[in-house]
Structure 1
Amino acid sequence: MSDHDPSQTDAMSQLQAIREQLQLESQNRQEAEKALRISEERLRKIFEHSNDAIFVIDPKRDRVLEANPKAAEMLGYSRDELINSVQVSSIHPEEMEQVRAFGDKVLKQGYGWTNELTCLTKSGYNIPSEISASVILFEGQNCIISLVRDVTERKLAEDKLRRSEARFRTFVENAAEMFFLIDPEGKIEDVNQCTCNTLGYSREELLELSVTDINAELTPQQLWDLKENLTSEQPITIESWHRRKDGTVFPVEVNISRFGSEDYPREIALARDITERKQAQAATARLAEVGELAAMIVHEVRSPLTTVLMGLESCQSLELSERHQMRLNLALEEGERLNKLLNEILQYAREQKLELVDIDLVTFISELKSSIEESPAAKGKFIAIQSSVAEASIRGDRDKLKQVFINLVRNALEAIPEGETVTWGIEVANFPQHIRITIHNGGDPIPEETLHKLGSPFFTTKSEGNGLGVALAKRIVEAHQGELAIYSSAEAGTTAEVVLPQAI
C-alpha cells in the first residue's frame, strides 16, 4: 500500500466540489431558462390572445415597435403594416398634443391611464379608447407598452344613460305633481320645480329639510313605520296634509315607492294637491243633501197640491160666471204647471237609475221623429234625419233617452220660424266605439254669455221655461257614460251634440 500525498488529496476534493458546484449551477441555469421560456411562452400567449389591443411604441421616433393580433384587428391593418408603415401620429392625427403629454407622464412616473383619446382606423373611423400604459425596456431602450380597449359600446351605453337621465329630469321638472327623493333618514335629497312652487321654498331650502318638516301629520315614528312597509314592487298611496313655507296647509295624495339598493334604500314620492278634489267631494255631498231635501219638499208639496187640483177640477161642474170660470181655468193651468215643475225637480234630484236595453238609434230616432212631428212645436216646420250609418247599436234606457231627444228637438223647433228645418244627424264619433247624435237648427244664435250656462239647473231663456229640461237631459246622458254639449254661432247656427258609447 503506497503512501498518498495529502496535498494531492485536498486538490482532488476541491476539484470534486467545484465540479458539483458547476453541475448545480448548470442545473439551476437550465431550470431558470426553462422557467423563463415558460414565462415567455405564457406572456406571448397572453399577448397574442388578449381581448385588448396591445402596442409597444417608441414615442420619440413615432413608431409602433410591436402589436398583437387584436391591435391589427381593431385598427384594420395587418401586423406588418402596423410595425413597418403606420406611425403613432397617424393613429391619433388630431390628438398628438394630448398623446405626447400622456407619453411624457408615463415615462416620468412609470405608468398612466386615460379614456380621453381615440384611435383612427384604416377605414377612417374614430374608436373611443381606454388606454392603460407603462414603461418597458424594449431593444435596449425605454419604450411604452399600451393596452388599448375599444369602449364604443360603453360610450354608447353611457350616452344612452345620460340621455335617459336627461329625459327623466325633464319629465320630473315639468311634471304637474310634486316630486321628492327621500334618503334613508327621511331627509329630502331632490325635488322638482313644482314642489318648490307649491310649497313656496327654493330648492336649496327644501334640501335642508326632512319629510316631517313639510308633512303636517306624520311623526318621525309614523314615517319610520311607513318606510318599513315599503317595497319596490308594491308602492303605497296615502292621503295627508302638507305645510307650505308660510304655514298654511293643504290636502295631498302621495304615491310612495322604494328606490335604490338594499344598502342605501331611498324613496320616491309623488304628491298631488287634492284641494279641488276635496272641494268637489264636499260639493257633491252637499248636492246629495240638497237632492234629498228637494225630494222631501216635493213630496210634502205635491200631496196637498193634488188635493187642491182635485178640488179645482170638481168646481168645473159648477155654473160660474165668465169671470170666475176664467179664474178657475187659470188656477188649474198654474196648478198643472206647478205639478209638472215638482215632477221635474224630483226627476233631477233623484239618482238616474237606468233600465238598459239594446237600442238601434237609427230606428229609435226614426220612430221618435214621427211622434215629435205631431207636437204643436213642429207645426209648419220640418225634421230631416241624416244618418251616415245603417245602424247604431247602444245600450240605453229607452224612456229616458226619449225624454232627452224630445227636449232637445223641441228646443230646436222652437228656435226656428215656420218653413225651416231641424236636422237630426247620426254618425260615428271621432273617437272609437262611440256614436255622435247632432240636432241642428239655423235660428238665432245663443249669446256666448248664455251658452256656457245652459245645462245649469233653473237657468232658462224662455218666459215659460223652468231651466230643468237641458239640465235633466245632461244628467241622463252622463248616466249613460256619454256627453252632451251645445255649440252656437251666427255662421253655423246651433247644434246640440250627444255622444254615446256603442254596444260592445
Structure 2
Amino acid sequence: MDELIVSERWMFLLFALAINLFASFTMFNMIGQLKHVGVRRNYWLLSGAAVYGLGLWVCHFVMLIAADYMIMIDWTSIVKLLCLMICAYFSLLLLGSRLGLGLRLLASSFVIAAGSNFMSYSRLMSEQVLEFKIHFGLAFFALVVTIIGAGGAFFLFQRKSRYSMLLAGLILGLSGIAMQLLGLEAVTIEYDVVLTADRLSEYLKRLSVVLGIATLVIFAFSTLARFVDRRYNAMDERYKLLVENSIDMIAIIGDEKWEYINRSGLQMFESTSEAELLGTSIYRQLLPVFHPAMKSMLQATAQGVQRGPIEIDWYTMNGKLLHTEVVETCTQISGRPVFQVIVRDISERKKNEELLINSEKLYVAGQLAAGIAHEIRNPLTSLKGFLQLMSSGRQSNKNYYDIMKSELNRIESIVSELLMLSKPQIYELSCKDIRLIIRDTVTLLEAQALLHSIEMEMRVDDDPLWVRGVENQLKQVFINVVKNAIESMLEGGKIIISCMREDDHVIIRIEDYGPGIPEEQLSKIGQPFYTTKEKGTGLGLMVSYKIVDNHQGRIQVRSSLGVGTTFDIILPCTEAPTVHEPDATGKVTPMNRIRQEDGSS
C-alpha cells in the first residue's frame, strides 16, 4: 500500500475520532433512556452496546488506513464486531447493577476495555499473518488508559449533571482513540500477502461500503435516540406539571426514605426546602402508633397486594398534628423498586366530622331531654294537683292516694327503662330453649288476652330451639311485643305466636290481626318516646330493640292496614348443651327439667 501523505493521515485520524465520539455519545444517550419509567431495559442496552461496538469497529479500520497498515477484511472482522458488542452489553449491565459504586465502575470499565483491546489485537489471528512482535509495556499501558477512560466516563454519566453525558462521550471516545494508537504502535506484523493494485482496489471498495453502511447505522441510532429522548422529555414535562400542581402530596419512597416530594407535600409538612425531608426516614414524621401500619402497607404493596386508602397521622416540621389518607403503589425507577404514595390532608374533614358528631349528640340529648320532661311532667302535674287539694284542708279521698301511687309507679317505670338503656350491664349468657320462654310468656298474658276477647295460639317445633341469652330479658321482649298486640286489638281477635328454625337462626314470629300500622309510623318504631297509645311511654319497644341487639339478633316488622302486624324476632341459634344425668342425690339438673317439661324421656 502506498504511503499516505501527512495531511491525509490527519484527515483519517479526525474522521476516526469523530466516529468514535459520535458512537460513544449515542451509546450514553441510549442508555440514558432507562431513566424513563416503563422503558424496555434490554432493548436500549443492546442498542447502545451495538452502536458503540459498531463505532469502535469502524474507527479501527479508519485508524489502520491512517497508519498505513494492512487492512484484512475476513471472518476475523465479524468476530471483532461481535466481541465488542457483547463486552459493551455486559459492561452496561454491570454499570446498572446493584453493586457498590466503586465495584460497578471497576467491573464495567474493565469489561469494555477488555473488548476494545481484544479488537485491537484480534488482527493477529488472520491467516495471512506470518510473524508478529508485541511490545508488552505499550500494550499494558493501552489497557490501563482504556480502563481509566471508561471508568471516568461511566462515573460522569452516573452523576447525571447537565453536561455529564457530553463529557462522558468525549472521554470514552478519546480513550478509545488513544488505545488504538498505542495498540498499533505496540504490534509489529509481517503478512504473507502481496497487495496488487487490483486487490487493493477491491479492498478499498469493500471497506468503503462497510464504513458507509456502519456510519449510516450509527447516525440512524443516534437520530432515534434523540427523537425518543425529546419525546420522553416532553412527556416528563407534562407529568411534572401534573405532579407539581397537584393539591395532594405525591412522593416517592425508596428504602423507607423520602426520595421525591412535590410542592404540595412540602407545604403540607410545613417544610421550607426539600433538603429538610429528602433522604430522611419516613418514620421520623410519622406517629409511633402508625409505624406498624405503614410497614404492613409497604410489605403488602411490594407483594402486589393493592389496598384502599388508610388513615395515618403525621407531625409537621413545626410539630403540628396532621391527619392524612394514604394510597400506595409499587413501581420501578432505573430497575430499582420504589413506592409512589399519594397523601391527602383530611384534617379539615376530621374536624367537620367531629363537629357533626357533637351536633348529633346534642340533638339526640335534646330530644331525649324533651321526651323525659314530657313523660314525667304529666304524672308530676297530677301529683301536684292532688297535693294542693290535700293541703287546702278539703276532705281527702282514698282514690287520691291510689292515683298518686299509680303516677309514682309510672315515673319509676320510666326511670328504670331509661337506666336500662344508658347503663351497661354484664349478664351471664346461658343456653335456653326459646319454646319454654314463649310458653311462660303466654301463661303470663293469657288472662289479659281473655279479658280483651283475644285468643292466643302457639305454633312451635317439636325439637328444642336453643339460643344463648338472658331468660328474663328475652321474656321482657316477648311480653312487650305481645302486650302491644293485645292492646291494639280493641274488638278482640287472634294472636299467633310461632317458633321455628331457619339455617343458623331461630325466628319467633308474633302475628296479630289488629288495625295495622301506617307506613310512615312503621319507620319510627323503636325510637325513644314514640308511641301511638294514649298512656304509653314509647320506651318498651326501644328497650326490646336494645335487648335483641345485645343478643346479636334483630327485629323485623311488617304491617298492612286493616290486616294486621307481624313482628319477627330473629336470634342466632346455638348447639344443644351437654346433657347431665341426675346426681347421686336424685337432684334433677335444669336440662333434665326442660326435657321432662317437654315430655321427652
Bin the TM-score by the shorter chain: 0.3 to 0.5
Quick check: which one's strand share is greater?
A: 1
**RCO higher in structure (CA 8 A, sep ≥6):** 2
Query: TM-score, normalising length from structure 1?
Result: 0.45
Quick check: which one's helix share is greater?
A: 2
